[in-house]
A and B are shown apart, each in its own frame.
Chain A
Amino acid sequence: MINSIFVMSPTGEVIIEKHYRGYISRTCCELFWNEVQQASNPSEVKPVMVTPKYYVIHVQRYGMFFIAVVQRDVIPLLVTEFLHRVVDVFRDYFNEVSEESIKENFITVYQIMDEMMDNGIPMTTEPNVLKTMIVPPTILGRVATSMGVSDKSNLNSDLPEGMLSSIWWRRKGVKYTNNEIYLDIIEEIDCSIDTNGLMVTCDVSGEVLVNCKLSGMPDMTLSFTNPSIIDDVNFHPCVRLSRYERDQVMSFVPPDGKFKLASYSVNTTGQAVTLPLYVKPQIHFSGTSGRVNVMVGPKSNLAGRTIEDVVITIPFTKNIATNNLSVNHGTAHFDDASKVLRWEIGKVPKEKSPCLNGSVSLVPGTETPESGPTILVDFKIVMFSASGLKIDALTMSGERYKPYKGVRFVTKAGRFQVRS
């Protein structure tokens, strides 16, 4: 299936190349890089590119390009998903994915890629299983290896017994002194609001992230008081799908460590989602100047929670010459190169509504924009669920100890956009 995988730095240097089925020259990467350079922005390059001999499929993450070269038709999305998985594993191993982190962990990278794919077919892609085979580098270990005095190999002494068990995502004999399991339910609101303040689209999607530090082979059951809110859901392979179909209960033996249990979308057709905050922009251009007024404030339905990390981004047109914009709360920064205004509000105060005010002037002789820019909004509310999803119970069986269970809801802005 996949012939070769290349990892390319943001500057077009091939850092990693791994050939699974014979050697493929780097020229197809050059073809790809040409495309990138021709595009006004790298993100404009289509994910699938056809060259005379190969299909070049790539994903872009953290500014890097992860490129797979295939020769024949493949199952749709399999390659894309696999590349994303490779990046996920890298991040899991090195905490960050960047040119430096990959160069630093060169050997580990090759080992991982060796295990993840055999003869072009994805093999072991579950980070937890991979970690039983290749131990992630630690800072201490790295220093030691470089000095040649390491006594700790980053190859595990055992081959993955996980490969042979029916619960292949969890290794045997896990032991913790404190048995804990943490659930983060993170919901994102994606919405577009038109110039009249009406909602054009609104989607709420969520993820259940688990950090599991439990000994042995625990069997978990997670149930919700209002599961009907969940419209469509995709699970980690450990979740018993048939059980969920039947009882709408997530039953699973968790992998060890951090993993994503499920991602879901919320049924927004029935009742309209009430947004936690409002943003009222008034941006008008006439002639060579424009008036800007943006108001932000909380709506009342927050049950006492405060909105944090509020950031308003206004990408103005490129022909803005000068501006005298001021805010009554937080800090606003206008980037002259990109003409983007970034207004960091932080916590929304209760007593007043933050307000951005002022005017901008356009470069004379340039076109007056027909309408204002689309404003991007970012925020976070802890212990608040936009969808109203509630956990009924998280129970454990199969082990004797009593685990500590922690649940945290977070609502964030996804692609939250206000047109002006």
Chain B
Amino acid sequence: MAPGGLFVDHKKGEVTEMKNKLRDSSIDKDPKQKRAIMERVVGYMTLGIGRCHVALQLLSAYVDADMSPLFSEMIMATATKDLVQKKMCYLYLSNYASMQSEMALLVINTLLKDFHDEDPMVRGLALRCLCSLRVNNILEYLVDPVVKGLQDASPYVRKTAVMCVLRIRDLSEDIIPDRHLVHQIFNLLNDRDPQVRAGDDVVANAVNALLELQGRTGLSLLIGNKNIIIRLLQRIREFNEWSQCLILEVIAEFKPNSDDERFEIMNFLDERLSHGNSSVVLATVKVFLNLTQDRPELQKQVVQRVRSPLISLMTGSSPEVAFVLMKHIIILIKLAPGAFDDEYTSFYARYSDPQYLQNLTEENQNLKIKALSLVVNLSNFISIVDELGSLVSSYYPALSKEVALLYLYPLVSLTLVVLSYSSLSHPQALRAMGDIAVRLPRAAPLVSDKIVVLLRRNDPVVANECIAVARDILRKYPPLSAILLQSLTEAFYEVKEDDAKVSLLWVLGQFGNDIPEAPYLIEPMIDEWEEETDPAVRCEMLTTAVKLFFQRPGEMQAMLGRLLKFAIADVSNVDVHDRALFYYRILSVDLDTVIYNMPEQRWLSEEALKARYVVADAAVAAGVISDEQKAGTDLLDLLDEPVPSSRGRADPLDDSSMPLEPSPSLSPEAFQDVWMQLGGGEPFIISFSRDSSAQEIELLLSHNNVRVMAQGQASPNQHKFFFYAKTIGGPLILCETTLDISSKTLTSLVKCNDADLIPAFFIHFKMSLTPLMA
């Protein structure tokens, strides 16, 4: 047949031709040929069914496929011994009887006649056909044959008859109790026929019919009879897969009286879990679960038992089956938490999974990720979090990312809770957390909170990881500093790991304005330069100090100067050295711009860069300065150039200040010698109107060319300084100063060769400190 052969229009004459052929008695002798004709008739008829809407069909709107003119011929053809022909006739008759009611009676009679045939097959077929007729008032003709059929000697007829009872029910509800049909069907459950297979079908159909006719009553009828249950159980292997499902459904409702019975049933059904049909497996699982409903510990074992069959069914089957299985598995996980934990890799999303497995369903559930969030435990959460993390960043469809995030959220909190209560440390997991927090805005505050909690545990390993995670979070979400800064600052002195130091230094530099004590946190580190041997830490110190310097120049300048000095002097690591030099040179170009204007405009705008190069190149060309000089040769220039504070510059007193050498050089030894030589000296006291710090004093004085030689905490309330200055072309002036923080007083002892200079120095000294007295 050419494609769609039956779909082509055919000539009107064909029906007549077939009619003639069917009447031709010579064809009767050749069953094969006759069969072919009938097949054609049926073919056209089915075409009608297929092409037209059934409702339209009833209006006989399908003219070109109308085979009804052949009705009487087909009825005659029914009287054949050939089963195939008979089958086709039945097909034809049941289709047309409903349309030609005057013919219906004829059909019924023919079928009833066949129902008394010797051949059980014919009887069965006739009964089936009879019951499928859609004809009005047919009920009276049906009941008797069906009742008879239920008691037929042949299992095939009995089996058919059971199904026919259901059809009768559809026509009239009352007839069922009237004729005690339920009872009759119930008796069939004990059907024992030597022809095993058909006998089983009778039983299966009977079970089905009982359930359909009686619903819950039918079910309780079945499970109330232990003999029936035992019989069904014992024979379950012989039933076909679909009937097995049905029987398992019934057994699932059975309530065993004892544990022995319970175990017996389960042992018996255990092998069903290896069945190839997933619905049989699921039905068996249901039986197991129901049997152990009131025994939670047993039920958990059951879940363990069914785990591997379910997982292998799920991984190996079509997406539709996997979908349903996943739904069931999630219920099982909730029922027996922990049972599926080891199978967590089975729930990893695959690229080719259909969307509903890895994506949003209408209840916002991504089945696989949901399962993952349920099976997470101490031993596997690292891999799961990792996997989810990679899902978030990977190429999966955007939606699935969203869902992964959705589930990461509770997972993150879970993991962190686990972390905060377990004595184990999980650096890897923490790192994964950080990863997630960075990708998932919603998780970040939560992770931050947990990190604060974890930092308080004072566990060095955890703390180190926490700091790294906190740094990443702050990088992405600066506003979260409100949560994190406090504990990070506290952690500053505890930290021993170099990595963590680097992270903290970065935080310090980044949030210098928000951490009041920032400069003083870094100061001890600077002063212990020799002890921080790690180049990464040293580099970060440099960067942080410079960053802080930009934010708080007053407090930082001297410190930065020291640091740069240390770093430039230290040649053990090229990176550190070069970075220090680099910062130094940049800063020494024009400090004013760096601090008070926008450095990028001054340094990074193209004109500025060009201009700088032009000037420098011109200078080199003219031989005014060497290349070396161009880069800046006096490394300590920075230390000596006072930072011009805007306030200081506006200060009119500035002009009257003492002419002091901007960069006096004096070694500590020299200082000590001179100090010892001079002896005596003049004391004076300054009172401050507000709290002041040693750093402030030092800074203010250094602005005015009074340098500090040494300083330190003398007692909790007292800070001691040794200052020195040099008049231009004149003698040295030395000064020992004690700051009493509680009384806000500064007591100084000034020594100088030329005692006349001491009062002038005192004024200069006091002037320098005016900001503290205002």
Contact status A168-B46, CB under 8 Å: no
**Residues A121 and B350 in contact in the complex (CB < 8 Å), given A47-B319, A104-B4, A263-B276:** no
**Could you say which of A121, A125, A236 has the most chain B C-beta atoms within 10 Å of its C-beta?**
A121
Contact status A41-B355, CB under 8 Å: yes
**Residues A235 and B275 in contact in the complex (CB < 8 Å), given A107-B42, A146-B2:** yes
Give the residues in chain B near A145, CB-CB below 8 Å: 1, 36, 39-40, 43
Give A359-385 as 1s and 0s: 1 = Cβ < 8 Å from B's Cβ atoms.
Answer: 000000000011111101000000000
**Could you say which of B42, B195, B286, B350 has the most chain A C-beta atoms within 10 Å of its C-beta?**
B350
Contact status B197-A234, CB under 8 Å: no
Contact status A77-B324, CB under 8 Å: yes
Give A43-69 as 1s and 0s: 1 = Cβ < 8 Å from B's Cβ atoms.
Answer: 111111000000000111100000000
Give the residues in chain B near A110, CB-CB below 8 Å: 46, 49-50
Contact status B318-A106, CB under 8 Å: no
Which of A157-165, A300-308, A386-394, A398-406 participates in binding chain B? A157-165
Contact status B350-A155, CB under 8 Å: no
Give B271-297 as 1s and 0s: 1 = Cβ < 8 Å from A's Cβ atoms.
Answer: 110111111011100100000000000
Contact status A237-B241, CB under 8 Å: yes
Give the residues in chain B near A104, CB-CB below 8 Å: 1, 3-5
**CB of A243, distance to nearest CB on chain B (Å):** 10
Give B61-81 as 1s and 0s: 1 = Cβ < 8 Å from A's Cβ atoms.
Answer: 000000000000000000000
Give the residues in chain A near B237, CB-CB below 8 Å: 241
Contact status B197-A231, CB under 8 Å: no
Complex Cα gap A419–B3 (Å):
45
Q: Which residue of B lies closest to A81 (CB)?
A: B279
Give A162-189 as 1s and 0s: 1 = Cβ < 8 Å from B's Cβ atoms.
Answer: 0111101000000000000000000000
Contact status B324-A80, CB under 8 Å: yes
Give B462-477 as 1s and 0s: 1 = Cβ < 8 Å from A's Cβ atoms.
Answer: 0000000000000000
Give the residues in chain A near B308, CB-CB below 8 Å: 231-232
**Residues A265 and B312 in contact in the complex (CB < 8 Å), given A103-B4, A192-B350:** yes
Give A234-262 as 1s and 0s: 1 = Cβ < 8 Å from B's Cβ atoms.
Answer: 11110001101100000000000000101
Contact status A234-B351, CB under 8 Å: no
Q: Which residue of A lies closest to B121 (CB)?
A: A159
Contact status A376-B352, CB under 8 Å: yes
| B359 in contact (CB, < 8 A) | yes
| B578 in contact (CB, < 8 A) | no
Residue from B195, B286, B394 within 8 A of A371 (CB atoms): B394
| A417 in contact (CB, < 8 A) | yes
| A219 in contact (CB, < 8 A) | no
Q: Which residue of B lies closest to A119 (CB)?
A: B163
Give A286-318 as 1s and 0s: 1 = Cβ < 8 Å from B's Cβ atoms.
Answer: 000000000000000000000000000001010
Which of B82-90, B521-529, B557-565, B718-726 participates in binding chain A? B82-90
Complex Cα gap A260–B316 (Å):
14
Contact status B359-A59, CB under 8 Å: no
| B315 in contact (CB, < 8 A) | yes
Contact status B352-A370, CB under 8 Å: no
Which of A198-206, A210-218, A320-328, A345-353 participates in binding chain B? A198-206
Give A7-31 as 1s and 0s: 1 = Cβ < 8 Å from B's Cβ atoms.
Answer: 0000000011101001101100000
B722-741 CB contacts (< 8 Å) to partner A: none
Contact status B3-A75, CB under 8 Å: no
Contact status B346-A201, CB under 8 Å: yes
Complex Cα gap A168–B532 (Å):
84
Residue from A15, A100, A195, A265 within 8 A of B390 (CB atoms): A195
| A143 in contact (CB, < 8 A) | yes
Which of B242-250, B489-497, B676-684 participates in binding chain A? B242-250
**Residues A165 and B197 in contact in the complex (CB < 8 Å), given A76-B279, A244-B274:** yes
Residue from B2, B87, B313, B352 within 8 A of A234 (CB atoms): B313
Give the residues in chain B near A195, CB-CB below 8 Å: 390
Complex Cα gap A263–B314 (Å):
12
**Residues A200 and B345 in contact in the complex (CB < 8 Å), given A106-B50, A163-B198, A265-B316:** yes
Contact status B84-A153, CB under 8 Å: yes
Complex Cα gap A192–B325 (Å):
21
**Residues A234 and B276 in contact in the complex (CB < 8 Å), given A155-B87, A163-B197:** yes
Task: Tell me the number of A-to-B contacts counted with CB atoms below 8 Å.
Answer: 244
* Range class of the B interface residue count: 35 or more
| A330 in contact (CB, < 8 A) | no
Complex Cα gap A376–B350 (Å):
10
Give the residues in chain A near B320, CB-CB below 8 Å: 47, 58-60, 80, 84
**Residues A233 and B274 in contact in the complex (CB < 8 Å), given A80-B324, A164-B156, A415-B350:** yes
Contact status B278-A81, CB under 8 Å: yes
**Residues A201 and B348 in contact in the complex (CB < 8 Å), given A46-B323, A59-B320, A76-B282:** yes
Give A93-129 as 1s and 0s: 1 = Cβ < 8 Å from B's Cβ atoms.
Answer: 0000000100110110010000000110111011000
Complex Cα gap A106–B242 (Å):
26
| B583 in contact (CB, < 8 A) | no
Contact status B208-A315, CB under 8 Å: no
Contact status A77-B242, CB under 8 Å: no
Contact status A76-B328, CB under 8 Å: yes
| B442 in contact (CB, < 8 A) | no
Interface of A is mostly: mixed
| B478 in contact (CB, < 8 A) | no
Contact status A81-B395, CB under 8 Å: no
| B330 in contact (CB, < 8 A) | no
**CB of A348, distance to nearest CB on chain B (Å):** 22
Give the residues in chain A near B277, CB-CB below 8 Å: 81, 234
Complex Cα gap A264–B3 (Å):
40
Q: Which residue of B lies closest to A101 (CB)?
A: B3
Complex Cα gap A369–B359 (Å):
20
Contact status B312-A371, CB under 8 Å: no
Complex Cα gap A203–B313 (Å):
12
Give the residues in chain A near B47, CB-CB below 8 Å: 106
Contact status A59-B318, CB under 8 Å: yes
Complex Cα gap A104–B5 (Å):
7
| B106 in contact (CB, < 8 A) | no
Contact status B394-A234, CB under 8 Å: no
Complex Cα gap A75–B243 (Å):
11
Complex Cα gap A269–B6 (Å):
56
B19-63 CB contacts (< 8 Å) to partner A: 32-33, 35-36, 39-40, 42-43, 46-47, 49-50, 53-55
Give the residues in chain B near A194, CB-CB below 8 Å: 390
Contact status B351-A200, CB under 8 Å: no
| A78 in contact (CB, < 8 A) | yes
B173-228 CB contacts (< 8 Å) to partner A: 195-198, 201, 205, 208
Complex Cα gap A168–B195 (Å):
11
Contact status A168-B54, CB under 8 Å: no
Give the residues in chain A near B241, CB-CB below 8 Å: 125, 237
Complex Cα gap A22–B35 (Å):
29
Q: Which residue of B lies closest to A103 (CB)?
A: B4
**Residues A78 and B275 in contact in the complex (CB < 8 Å), given A151-B32, A151-B36, A164-B198:** no
| A156 in contact (CB, < 8 A) | yes
| B713 in contact (CB, < 8 A) | no
Give the residues in chain A near B88, CB-CB below 8 Å: 155
| A142 in contact (CB, < 8 A) | yes
Give the residues in chain B near A157, CB-CB below 8 Å: 82-84
Contact status B271-A245, CB under 8 Å: yes
- The 5 closest A-B CB pairs, nearest first, are A146-B1, A265-B312, A122-B242, A44-B355, A47-B320
20 new A-B contacts at CB < 8 Å, known A153-B35, A168-B197? A25-B55, A47-B323, A60-B320, A76-B283, A81-B277, A84-B318, A106-B43, A107-B6, A107-B46, A110-B50, A121-B242, A146-B2, A151-B32, A151-B36, A153-B84, A154-B39, A200-B387, A205-B316, A235-B275, A245-B270
Q: What are 29 A-to-B residue pairs whose CB atoms are below 8 Å?
A: A23-B55, A45-B356, A75-B246, A75-B249, A80-B324, A81-B278, A84-B320, A118-B163, A121-B205, A122-B242, A125-B240, A142-B1, A143-B1, A146-B2, A150-B36, A150-B39, A159-B83, A159-B121, A164-B195, A190-B350, A232-B274, A234-B313, A237-B240, A237-B275, A237-B276, A241-B237, A241-B274, A265-B315, A419-B390
